[in-house]
Structure 1
Amino acid sequence: MTEQQEPQAPADDALQAPDSSGVAQEAGDELTNAERAILAAAQAATTATTELTMAANPLRDPRDRRLPRVAGPCVLVLFGVTGDLAKRKLLPAIYDLGNRGLLPPGFSLVGFARRDWAHEDFAQVTYEAVKEHARTPFREEVWKQLSEGIHFCPGEFGDDGAFDVLAMMLREIDETRGTGGNYAFYLSVPPKFFPLVIEQLKRTNLAKGPDGSWRRVVIEKPFGHDLKSAQELNAITSAVFPESSVFRIDHYLGKETVQNILALRFANTLYEPIWNRGYVDHVQITMAEDIGIGGRAGYYDGIGAARDVIQNHLLQLLALVAMEDPTSFDADALRREKEKVLRAVKLPADLATGTARGQYVRGWQGGEPVVGYLEEQGISSDSATETYAAVKLEVANRRWAGVPFYLRTGKRLSRRMTEVAIVFQRAPHLPFSKDDTEILGHNALVIRVQPDEGITVRFGSKVPGTAMEVRDVNMDFAYGESFMESSPEAYERLLLDVLIGDPPLFPHQREVELSWNILDPIEEFWASQGQPEGYASGSWGPASADAMLARDGRAWRRL
């Protein structure tokens, strides 16, 4: 998502306070005791001022005093290294972390897959993925250090012998690389293999390390396909790993603009006083894709847009937008507030009019003809899987009572865009004629998550001229223009958090279950409704989605 840019200073570079120690050393014995005392007091005062300034930032993790967050000695074991996610995101992110100086010299990467590869073969695969997809510039010295710790273990998930070899390999890496028995196991595999891999880690005693070391497991979404399966998956995982060692990755929570929702709300007095039912008319949360399912037929068919996106990405965004201010920004405090929101979510009374689903048919995308979903390779001609889903939700609490939250996601839509739009109520009185404000809409605050990360504020302004004509204008903040450094990819941030053991950006099991509580009744209703409504590829979805808002006197934002 992020374009290649010139190398910049890492965002986590240390912020150093002025240091007078060098002056004292240079002066040597020429300083009197009184002068030394004055210098020491000045240095202490400067340090205290710097620490006080940093501590005053409500978004600053108290453990992070602008010092680089560097992972300690460890091994990352990556199951599913031949998959698209590993090649496009995970392997490049590991290199980018190393390039930013955030991995220790002894960091090691072990790939596990059903391939007859030697260590050098996996290193070459990693090299090609880095060269093609890394965000930061390629540096030979960084690659040399990283490649020295790359290993590969061939085998299948049900092969006891392969996991015995993996256990022996990790012990050898501990001895030669000084990784201290600290292992993170990343399950970049289909969910059906989660129980098998976790059981193998238990059998080989890889899930529990010696005192002073840690073991963590990383699970990619989907976290089940309904509430029951999510609970079964959690039972399997929690029997082997404690909850504090389970990291469920929702890569949207690692995006800078998603994290900026918290900064926007809680670091500014400008917005929080109007962030409620007294001023907000409604909220729209959109994740639109302009591509089809590609080669994901085996995964996507039977899952659909709602399970793939709404249950995790969009409900997490809703929780961040609607939550009350936490007492701190540690994991437990954030989770408590998000869980309160998810518990308060109400479904529409009539699911037929308060939800919409669709399935793309033939059309045009980017000037090229494209096939419909039922014509995609690997898709059954009678599949009822939706590629578009929209739902109207409410948050039944004092802050949001009566404010609808409209969530939508779809494939083969007109353009790629993810945004959160806070749409405000109209002014209670306009001292203008109807003609003066004929094309004036609602004020809106729009948080753009991708592709053009930033924030837009829409408000009314007078059109230059002799008449009093008021129309909408936009005031725009763009990350790429305001910050002179490249934003880390989401997987960079999340992988580093795993290796450090920092959990705020990872959904807790209770959040997962609450999300399924919201979605399961909708999925059950849709299952009784036959085929989804067709919509043309390159459009903005089925007519029923527009009708859902039109009944409320509203319309989807034009993206």
Structure 2
Amino acid sequence: MDELRTLVILGAEGDLARRLLLPGMATCLAAGVPGRGLTVVGAGRQDHPDFPATVREAFESALDARGMGRPAVRETLDSARWATADATDPEDLARLLEHAEGPVGLYFALPPSVTVAACRALRELHGQDRLPADVVLVLEKPFGTDLDSARELNALLAGFVPEEQVFRVDHFLGQPGVLGFVGLRFANRILEPLWNRDHIERIEIVFDETLGLEGRAGFYDATGAARDMMQSHLLQVMALVMMDPPTRFDGVEIPANTAHVLRATRLWPARQEGSGGMPSVVRGRYTAGAVGGRELPNYADEEGVDPDRGTETFAQVVLEVDSWRWNGVPVVLRSGKAIGSPRQEITVVFRRPPHDYEQFPSAEPLPTDVLRVGFEDERIGLELNAGGPFDPRGMTRTALSAELPQPALTAYGSVLRWVLEGKRAFTVRGDGAEEGWRILAEIADAYASGRVPLLDYAAGSSGPV
């Protein structure tokens, strides 16, 4: 597939384009991908004559003067334009495509229901032989709203566009720590031989944040922590961390291997032990408190919140990947808002040595080795045991840590780089998206059963568990 010449952002008037997509595009262009300018077309139902200025402001938020001066950045800024169009109208879409230099990418910065309607309009154009054969579709999460709708959307897409021209993107897969984890595991001989149930006791993937609702009640109160953070983001990261080694790092092997992990994933069985006594599902909602010097009100009192919905701002689940490699290893996924001491990292806890070493002073039992990788700062830490019975200091604990240089691309910059270059290794395969909804349905069933109460936790605390 040739590099894209034009990127049309459907729904470009929204927050996603302004805050994330356009700044990410700026970092991508400044890094030399592509080496030439890209035509950016914003599209929406209402006129937006200031769109070129919006693009420039977003670029300036991400780049310094040197970056803004790069030829590809200048060319893109000069070519940015707005097109008033209804993404669900076949004729409007046809006009957009006719006036765009190909290959064209359509980025769906739209709600799921509008995305489905837009895809139906594109299918209609395909049936009239008016859809360019090389058009690329870039679909944001959430992909559908539940398992059935995800299956229907996959079937719809398969009817008019080849799978290799569909990018189901998740910007968490573009986080520096997640991308670095792949090299950490597969480019060294130290970790991969230990990457199984015989040597790993548990895995934790945590994304706690200090932010509260921040005026997003319209979206968040109808969504909640599990649907927002676990259905796609944390499950996709888990699948990448726990996948079998690919034979090739390409758009076939990695999406297939991550989909296989999700297919084997289920809630931690109550009959098993080993999750540290944690229940398989916990949910909570923050109450009034202080976080980082800011006073947050009770979530239920926030403007736009319907307290009767019982929306959770904290979710923690314990999962098991029931495969030959991972059976019996608890995987903890956790995300919470208004957390006082947030963690945003992948943690791998290794099993203790098989011998008790009772002669080691103050080491009963021996602490476990722990590997930590930060999502955004790409901080890598390894906690190990040292010393011993012949060391006058006795048994000691040591931590090796390093912070890798900050990447030139934001997470969305990485996503757009893959789209522009046609590289699908870190996209989500259709059945992988469906499996995310299946797992979420298990969590929702646990909520509905009455076994998982909505716990209160004060804003600024560590959460309900």
Same fold per superposition (TM over 0.5): yes
Q: Distance in 1 between matches of 2:249 and 2:27?
A: 26
Q: Secondary structure at the match of 2:240?
A: helix
1:539 and 2:465 aligned: no
Whether the aligned pair in 2 keeps the contact of 1:387 and 1:411 (CA below 8 Å) is yes
Note closer, same or farther for the CA distance 1:135–1:337 as it changes in structure 2 (3 Å cut). farther
1:313 shift after superposition: 1.6
Note closer, same or farther for the CA distance 1:347–1:139 as it changes in structure 2 (3 Å cut). closer
2:32 corresponds to which of 86, 101, 109: 101
1:159 shift after superposition: 5.4
**Paired position in structure 2 for 1:146:** 76
**Paired position in structure 1 for 2:280:** 354
Q: Secondary structure at the match of 2:462?
A: coil
Could you tell me which runs of 5 or more consecutive residues in structure 2 were left unpaired when the two chains were aligned. 272-277
1:461 and 2:392 aligned: no
Q: Distance in 2 between matches of 1:405 and 1:446?
A: 14
Q: Distance in 1 between matches of 2:54 and 2:66?
A: 18
Q: Secondary structure at the match of 2:229?
A: helix
1:323 shift after superposition: 1.7
1:466 shift after superposition: 7.5
Q: Please tell me the root mean square deviation across aligned C-alpha atoms, in Å.
A: 2.9
**Paired position in structure 1 for 2:47:** 116
1:304 and 2:224 aligned: yes
Whether the aligned pair in 1 keeps the contact of 2:285 and 2:456 (CA below 8 Å) is yes
Q: Distance in 1 between matches of 2:407 and 2:402?
A: 16
1:269 and 2:189 aligned: yes
Whether the aligned pair in 2 keeps the contact of 1:81 and 1:112 (CA below 8 Å) is yes
Larger mean CA deviation between 247-256 and 395-404 belongs to: 395-404
User: Which of structures 1 and 2 has the larger relative contact order (alpha carbons within 8 angstroms, sep 6+)?
Assistant: 2
1:196 shift after superposition: 2.3
Report 1:312-351 matches (<5 A).
Answer: 312-350=232-270
Q: Secondary structure at the match of 1:132?
A: helix
Q: Secondary structure at the match of 1:422?
A: strand
1:185 and 2:106 aligned: yes
**Paired position in structure 2 for 1:422:** 348
Report 1:516-531 matches (<5 A).
Answer: 516-529=437-450
| One-letter code aligned to 1:129 | A
**Paired position in structure 1 for 2:275:** none
How many matched pairs? 457
Note closer, same or farther for the CA distance 1:264–1:141 as it changes in structure 2 (3 Å cut). closer
Give CA-to-partner distance per residue, 1:15-38, whole Å, 9 cap, x none: xxxxxxxxxxxxxxxxxxxxxxxx
Larger mean CA deviation between 245-254 and 318-327 belongs to: 318-327
Note closer, same or farther for the CA distance 1:105–1:317 as it changes in structure 2 (3 Å cut). closer
Report 1:500-519 matches (<5 A).
Answer: 500-519=421-440
1:89 and 2:20 aligned: yes
Whether the aligned pair in 2 keeps the contact of 1:363 and 1:370 (CA below 8 Å) is yes
| One-letter code aligned to 1:539 | S
Q: Distance in 2 between matches of 1:141 and 1:271?
A: 40
Whether the aligned pair in 2 keeps the contact of 1:393 and 1:404 (CA below 8 Å) is yes
Q: Distance in 2 between matches of 1:246 and 1:514?
A: 18
**Paired position in structure 2 for 1:380:** 306
Q: Distance in 2 between matches of 1:138 and 1:402?
A: 49
1:149 shift after superposition: 1.6
Identity of aligned residues (%): 33
Q: Secondary structure at the match of 2:201?
A: strand
Note closer, same or farther for the CA distance 1:199–1:398 as it changes in structure 2 (3 Å cut). closer
Report 1:25-40 matches (<5 A).
Answer: none
Note closer, same or farther for the CA distance 1:254–1:466 as it changes in structure 2 (3 Å cut). closer
1:358 shift after superposition: 0.8
1:441 shift after superposition: 2.5
Q: Distance in 1 between matches of 2:391 and 2:139?
A: 62
Q: Secondary structure at the match of 1:455?
A: strand
1:156 shift after superposition: 3.7
Note closer, same or farther for the CA distance 1:428–1:130 as it changes in structure 2 (3 Å cut). same
Note closer, same or farther for the CA distance 1:117–1:404 as it changes in structure 2 (3 Å cut). closer
1:202 shift after superposition: 4.0
2:338 corresponds to which of 396, 399, 412: 412
| One-letter code aligned to 1:429 | H
Note closer, same or farther for the CA distance 1:136–1:344 as it changes in structure 2 (3 Å cut). farther
Pick the structure with greater CA Rg: 1
1:137 shift after superposition: 4.3
**Paired position in structure 2 for 1:497:** 418
Note closer, same or farther for the CA distance 1:281–1:208 as it changes in structure 2 (3 Å cut). farther
Give CA-to-partner distance per residue, 1:117-145, whole Å, 9 cap, x none: 33xx2111111111123478443453432
Whether the aligned pair in 2 keeps the contact of 1:359 and 1:535 (CA below 8 Å) is yes
Q: Secondary structure at the match of 1:144?
A: helix
Whether the aligned pair in 2 keeps the contact of 1:123 and 1:150 (CA below 8 Å) is yes
1:253 and 2:173 aligned: yes
Q: Secondary structure at the match of 1:353?
A: coil
Give CA-to-partner distance per residue, 1:202-235, whole Å, 9 cap, x none: 4456997788x61011111111232112112223
1:72 and 2:3 aligned: yes
Q: Secondary structure at the match of 1:346?
A: strand
How does the TM-score come out when normalised to structure 1? Answer: 0.75
Give CA-to-partner distance per residue, 1:79-110, whole Å, 9 cap, x none: 12222221122112222222223225352111
1:378 shift after superposition: 0.9
Q: Distance in 2 between matches of 1:84 and 1:412?
A: 22
How does the TM-score come out when normalised to structure 2? Answer: 0.90
Note closer, same or farther for the CA distance 1:422–1:141 as it changes in structure 2 (3 Å cut). closer
| One-letter code aligned to 1:96 | T
Note closer, same or farther for the CA distance 1:300–1:278 as it changes in structure 2 (3 Å cut). same
